[in-house]
Structure 1
Amino acid sequence: MHKHDIKADDSCCSHSHQHEQSHDHDGEHDHDHGDASAFKTYLPSIFSLLFLLVGIALDYFKISFFEQPIRLIWYLLAYIPVAYPVLKEAFFTITRGEIFTEFLLMGLATIGALALGEYPEAVAVMLFYTVGELFQGAAVSGAKKNIKALLDVRPETANVFRDGRFITVKPKEVSIGETIQLKVGDKSALDGVLLSDSASFNTAALTGESTPRTVKKGEEVLAGMLNLDKVVDVKVTKEFADSALSRILEMVQSATSRKAKTELFIRKFAKIYTPIVFFLAVALIILPYFFVADYQFKTWLYRSLVFLVISCPCALVISIPLGYFGGIGAGSANGILFKGSSFLDTIAQIKTVVMDKTGTLTHGVFNVKTIQTSLQEDEFFKYLASAETKSTHPIAKAIVAYHNQGAIFDVAELTEIAGHGLTAVINNRKVAVGNTKLLRKLNVAYPKAIDEEVETTVVMAIDNQFVGYVIIADEIKKDAKYAIDELHLLGVTQIVMLSGDKTAITEKVAKELGLDKAYGDLLPEDKVARLEKLKSQKNLIAFAGDGINDAPVLALSDLGIAMGAMGSDVAIETADVVIQNDQPSKIATAIKIGRATKRVVYQNIGLAFGVKAIVLILGAGGLATMWEAVFADVGVAFLAILNAIRIQKMKF
């Protein structure tokens, strides 16, 4: 992905970026211009400004030598450095069939002003227009900053094991199944599974979380994760282009190509508006000849040129895409990836938010919550972990993890009973582990209060005697309650949870978090049916989920939100917005960013149209000079750009 793939707009107002884009090279990181390069970019404008100011001073003090042709030559020297790129672009756009552009408007207006002897005005218009373009470039660079930071986490090399040794190659040259080595401080270039016993990684590039993450042998390592403590080996499971990090970068790359309706309207409007303005300017020269008694061509030509400068649509075609681009950048800075500016518009209007439970509002990881036993706790867990150590079930994994690699007994005669649990001979004793249905099947007495427990319960009997139970629960995320409260404060009228978990557990979580509605025991098709019923209420609906089973609902919703860059591939591909760090509170942040972007865009539209309408009327009536025209065009563009880049500075 290169710098020219991420741009605020591809309108004709971007001539200052075309030179910049030509310096990008494949496979290289993008770097900002150094001080010398930046100075070189601004040098023509500085030169023109100095000549303009000296020329105005010479005019003001009526210096004797400052007469024609010296005066014309002086102002031409001030005009050419800033006018040449604009006139050149006007020529090229005409050869491409795009006649009515702001380059042509600016060229005609300033050349006309020179012909009328209004030299300072001609130079000032072109100078401030060029400065506006440079300012736009600086604003776009600022908006890119957060997005481009993602590029800095993409490793350029990988150490792959071939022919008995590790060699350095480009990541795209590594095949699935090969082994790569990560030294301390290395970032993984590809997705894979850990071959070493364990390792600690910084996952901030993918999740925004600075807390190190411990990965054990056989667990997943993702591209962009930073190795913190020792040399480790990773077996590659995905090609470079399919890695989690590459998917994120691809999302960012394509984000600016998906335009919002407002942005698309302004582009279409500018294409119609510019030729209309041109012909109105021509009419302003011709028509007064038939209606004005003391018609003077020079006067009406000047008014026409003022009209051209005022009516240039630059403020709109620069600031509106820049506003949306700023919103996407602000999202990236907050760990939120918007796949296009259209989704900023959509999220600003959301009134109903539907969420999955597991992995969205809860961690999706089972943990031992409560232990009740008549034995010593260590002994109880030694038997329990011994029985569960061979199982791959998430609940069994939670029990073994809680035992934390403690000593276990040898297991014999292990028998699984579907839907009930298992029996085994452990330490020469008959052990049964499972749910209460298993104990009833074996005629083992147990406290009936266990049947009333909402959470998942694992009971154990030894030699047909009940010895205790553990409660396994999925933990609610720390910011889940805050997320729901924030959404309510933002005016979201309905927050609904859909879950495949038991209805009793779903309702308990919903009550704890303050959700408006919750539905449990849902299959994927049941979630779709529920969402269709909600859509019939005519509200725009956002759905947040993380699993493969959430993909149909993500696709059906007006706005799909995938929780976590490390969530299911299908969910991430289907979603319109990706929350990188799994925090549900980021949904509220995303809504705030969407609404702030919409406000800024509408403010810019109102500012541009309001000021231009007033000055157009004044210009046509001869009450506005070229200086007012400069403010109406470049000044409004400046203000609109400043307003647009505010989004980058806002705290959400």
Structure 2
Amino acid sequence: MEKTDKTITAPKAKQTLQENALAKGHSENDGHDHGSEDGHDHGGIARKERPAWQEHWDLLLSLAILAVLLVLEYGFGYKLPNMLALAVNAIAYLLAGWNVLRMAFRRLKRGDVFNEFVLMSVATLGAFYIGEYTEGVAVMVFYSIGEWFQDSAVRRAKASIKALLDIRPDEVTVMRDAKPEVVNPSKVSLGEIIQVKPGEKVALDGELISKQSSFNTAALTGESRPDTKYKGEQVLAGMINLNTVSEIKVTALFTDSKLSKILEMVQDATARKSQTQLFISRFAKVYTPIVFFLALALVVGPYFFVENYIFNEWLYRGLVFLVISCPCALVVSIPLGYFGGIGLASRNGILFKGGNFLDVMTKIDTVVMDKTGTLTKGVFKVQKIRAEGINENDLIRITAALEKNSTHPVGKAVVEFAGDKIGNTVSSDVEEIAGHGLSGVVDGKEVLAGNLKLLKRFKITYPSEIEQEVDTIVVVAIDNNYAGHITIADEIKEDAEPAIRNMHSLNIKTVMLSGDKQSVVDKVAKELGIDEAYGDLLPEGKVEKVKLLKEEGRHIAFVGDGVNDAPVVALADAGIAMGGLGSDATIETADVVIQNDQPSKIVAAIRAGKITRSIVWQNIILAMVVKAIVLVLGAGGVANLWEAVIADVGVALLAILNAVRIQRMKI
């Protein structure tokens, strides 16, 4: 299976563009042109809403006229004189169908003959031609009502996604010259201090400088439980301050915040079509001209084979055929289903970068995971220090001075443990050796700090018993001599074991790849029940393992959080990034982002994809079966125009209601 539409999104400030893209997402590419061109702006969500009776007064008036005519004819047995009936029905018809006729005319001028607007115009005008005025009006009225419901459902689905675009605050309190000043978040610079009162949303990413504070993180993670942050910890835009006035040092500009990137991902997701959506759009372009010619053949063909051929009778059958063949139930409900799937996932803290990846997740049979930060918390603590030829304080001071240049959780643990011991010690000429560690100069000495592979690479001897250590270690060499090691331990995430168990219940194979020691990897794999686990891997080693699995014909999701995971994320059929602790490179490369870093969300992402695909195919089968039955009945003269339009509108409404159901499901 080839990976589709894998792009890396650069941070941009484009809230207006986001809204515009959402507003036109239903009209440009899905074959169902209901944008502002038809006078109702059905696809738009940016404009101010008006009451339904004001928005569609013409349609409601037409429906009222139709109801009066039906009561007179079928309730009292009274039929209007022919010319009066034509005039009244024509008024009702134009009220209900003016926009459809206008769109049909515009399409015809562009040379686009085979579309639903022309189809409905031909069918209804044909009904008037053969004297079936009321039926012609009924077809147009009920068709327009169906469109009204369809557009309302699409608008609501997009509005639920657009609501995410509105969670960024429009203003922020920044401390300048020891005085609070309210400004737009885009006007705040790096390093400035912002103040967030209880109940306010954090507008910018930053570092908490107050002692502690609790935040609601639902906007980012889908989890509303309070998250207590302490001085020095990261606070993200979109979080809501719960209990005390907090001061935060800004570490990212407005356009570079994690929340801004999330909003871009959601906006981009609505523009990326699934394979099913693309197929339906292509299908509609082929299907519509075919039914036009079949309807024409149904009208003209019998002239050569049927005795007592009556043109109006066969024209009526052709009109029924045209009405029921309208593909709008498919063209509207399928994108609506994928909007719902993306919305369902985002409310649970899972961001899909496109409907195509919802489809990909349904085929996953192997989940490959990184260890640190994915299955473990990535919160390391120094357990013990062993120094050789140097005292322990100097060892931790020199190592921390070098590790200050690393973003790896292990390096951060060393720096945190060292604390004030670092003092004025600085490092220079620091180089990161991917998958190994760091090299640099500290106190005028060449220092290496990393894993055992680093010392082997530089042919530095070390005590053999170190290789028996089960926990993670940082080995240190000074001037090409082994100087000691620091033992560090990590914790497994609480929901990691249930997540693995749930994957197995779905018959999904689990594999763990890590750059950590094999002994550590084996320990974690045994505790979690992972099928296969490989340690001591460099980034290229992870890539090779994933390639081997793909050669076996397996459909792979890779879950990671580090910079080194980005190449493997890009290679997998579905790349999943842990968005809370994850690096920006991995998040931008990934197809799916889990905002709260919980492994259990991997299973939830798979379920979201399966729910969406199941309901989409329910709608496809429902629409095709009902249409096929009524097409046959119409061609045989059994079904009339009333039954055709009720079947068409009924199928569309059922499909829409089924698609909307996705948004209310649990995963």
Same fold (TM over 0.5): yes
Partner letter of residue 643 of structure 1? Answer: N
Aligned to 1:642: 657
1:349-368 equivalence runs, <5 A = 349-367=363-381
Deviation string, structure 1 residues 333-357 (Cα, Å, up to 9, x no partner): 2211111111111110111110011
CA 1:85–1:510: 2 relative to 1, 3 Å: same
Confirm or deny that 1:13 pairs with 2:32.
Answer: yes
Question: Within 2, Cα distance between the matches of 1:413 and 1:386?
Answer: 10
Question: Within 1, Cα distance between the matches of 2:77 and 2:108?
Answer: 41
Aligned to 2:494: 478
Aligned to 1:335: 349
How much has 1:638 moved relative to structure 2? 1.5
Q: Kindly indicate whether the alpha-carbon contact (under 8 Å) linking 1:16 and 1:134 is maintained by their aligned counterparts in 2.
A: no
Confirm or deny that 1:46 pairs with 2:65.
Answer: no
2:186 to 172, 188, 192: 172
Aligned to 1:298: 312
Question: Within 2, Cα distance between the matches of 1:87 and 1:170?
Answer: 47
Aligned to 2:548: 533
CA 1:591–1:22: 2 relative to 1, 3 Å: closer
2:523 to 508, 515, 531: 508
1:133 to 138, 141, 147: 147
Question: Within 2, Cα distance between the matches of 1:472 and 1:177?
Answer: 32
Question: Within 2, Cα distance between the matches of 1:389 and 1:215?
Answer: 27
Aligned to 2:119: 105
Partner letter of residue 102 of structure 1? Answer: E
Confirm or deny that 1:598 pairs with 2:617.
Answer: no
Q: Kindly indicate whether the alpha-carbon contact (under 8 Å) linking 2:43 and 2:154 is maintained by their aligned counterparts in 1.
A: no
How much has 1:506 moved relative to structure 2? 0.7
Q: Kindly indicate whether the alpha-carbon contact (under 8 Å) linking 2:119 and 2:326 is maintained by their aligned counterparts in 1.
A: yes
* SS of match in other structure, 2:82: coil
Question: Within 1, Cα distance between the matches of 2:650 and 2:591?
Answer: 36
Aligned to 2:171: 157
Question: Within 2, Cα distance between the matches of 1:639 and 1:646?
Answer: 11
Question: Within 2, Cα distance between the matches of 1:56 and 1:386?
Answer: 95
Aligned to 2:591: 576
Question: Within 2, Cα distance between the matches of 1:648 and 1:168?
Answer: 37
Aligned to 2:572: 557
1:144-543 equivalence runs, <5 A = 144-160=158-174, 165-196=179-210, 198-367=212-381, 391=400, 454-456=470-472, 472-492=488-508, 494-543=509-558
Aligned to 2:51: 37
Q: Kindly indicate whether the alpha-carbon contact (under 8 Å) linking 2:341 and 2:663 is maintained by their aligned counterparts in 1.
A: yes
Q: Kindly indicate whether the alpha-carbon contact (under 8 Å) linking 1:330 and 1:593 is maintained by their aligned counterparts in 2.
A: yes
CA 1:23–1:606: 2 relative to 1, 3 Å: closer
How much has 1:232 moved relative to structure 2? 4.0
Aligned to 1:610: 625
* SS of match in other structure, 1:475: coil
Q: Kindly indicate whether the alpha-carbon contact (under 8 Å) linking 2:372 and 2:378 is maintained by their aligned counterparts in 1.
A: yes
Question: Within 2, Cα distance between the matches of 1:240 and 1:396?
Answer: 28
Worse-matched range after superposition: 626-635 or 572-581: 626-635
Give me the TM-score of the superposition, normalised by structure 1.
0.82
Aligned to 2:132: 118
How much has 1:230 moved relative to structure 2? 4.0
CA 1:389–1:17: 2 relative to 1, 3 Å: farther
Q: Kindly indicate whether the alpha-carbon contact (under 8 Å) linking 1:497 and 1:518 is maintained by their aligned counterparts in 2.
A: yes
Worse-matched range after superposition: 314-323 or 59-68: 59-68
Partner letter of residue 504 of structure 2? Answer: H
Question: Within 2, Cα distance between the matches of 1:490 and 1:587?
Answer: 12
Worse-matched range after superposition: 598-607 or 356-365: 598-607
How much has 1:518 moved relative to structure 2? 0.3
Q: Kindly indicate whether the alpha-carbon contact (under 8 Å) linking 1:565 and 1:572 is maintained by their aligned counterparts in 2.
A: no
Deviation string, structure 1 residues 206-238 (Cα, Å, up to 9, x no partner): 122334344445543322122334444444333
CA 1:413–1:620: 2 relative to 1, 3 Å: closer
Question: Within 2, Cα distance between the matches of 1:578 and 1:43?
Answer: 44
Question: Within 2, Cα distance between the matches of 1:177 and 1:340?
Answer: 35
How much has 1:458 moved relative to structure 2? 10
How much has 1:320 moved relative to structure 2? 1.4
Partner letter of residue 208 of structure 1? Answer: G
How much has 1:612 moved relative to structure 2? 1.5
How much has 1:561 moved relative to structure 2? 0.5
CA 1:307–1:565: 2 relative to 1, 3 Å: farther
CA 1:181–1:411: 2 relative to 1, 3 Å: closer
Question: Within 2, Cα distance between the matches of 1:73 and 1:291?
Answer: 37
Q: Kindly indicate whether the alpha-carbon contact (under 8 Å) linking 1:388 and 1:397 is maintained by their aligned counterparts in 2.
A: no
* Percent pairwise identity: 55
How much has 1:51 moved relative to structure 2? 2.1
Worse-matched range after superposition: 191-200 or 348-357: 191-200
Q: Kindly indicate whether the alpha-carbon contact (under 8 Å) linking 1:385 and 1:400 is maintained by their aligned counterparts in 2.
A: no
Deviation string, structure 1 residues 81-130 (Cα, Å, up to 9, x no partner): 22112112222333344332101111111111122221222122112211
Give me the TM-score of the superposition, normalised by structure 2.
0.80
* SS of match in other structure, 2:271: coil
Partner letter of residue 580 of structure 1? Answer: Q
Deviation string, structure 1 residues 541-581 (Cα, Å, up to 9, x no partner): 11011111100000011110011245211011100111111
* SS of match in other structure, 1:363: coil
Partner letter of residue 550 of structure 1? Answer: D
1:631 to 631, 635, 646: 646
Question: Within 2, Cα distance between the matches of 1:241 and 1:621?
Answer: 62
How much has 1:23 moved relative to structure 2? 11
Unaligned runs of 5+ in 2: 1-14, 386-390, 404-408, 427-435, 438-449, 452-463, 476-484
Unaligned runs of 5+ in 1: 373-382, 420-433, 436-447, 460-468
Question: Within 1, Cα distance between the matches of 2:425 and 2:583?
Answer: 37
Q: Kindly indicate whether the alpha-carbon contact (under 8 Å) linking 1:9 and 1:322 is maintained by their aligned counterparts in 2.
A: no
Deviation string, structure 1 residues 233-286 (Cα, Å, up to 9, x no partner): 444333322221111111110112211122111111111221222222222222
CA 1:540–1:32: 2 relative to 1, 3 Å: farther
CA 1:56–1:248: 2 relative to 1, 3 Å: same
Query: What is the number of residues matched between the two proteins?
Result: 595
1:87-102 equivalence runs, <5 A = 87-102=101-116
Partner letter of residue 13 of structure 1? Answer: H
Deviation string, structure 1 residues 288-324 (Cα, Å, up to 9, x no partner): 2222221111111111111110111111111111122
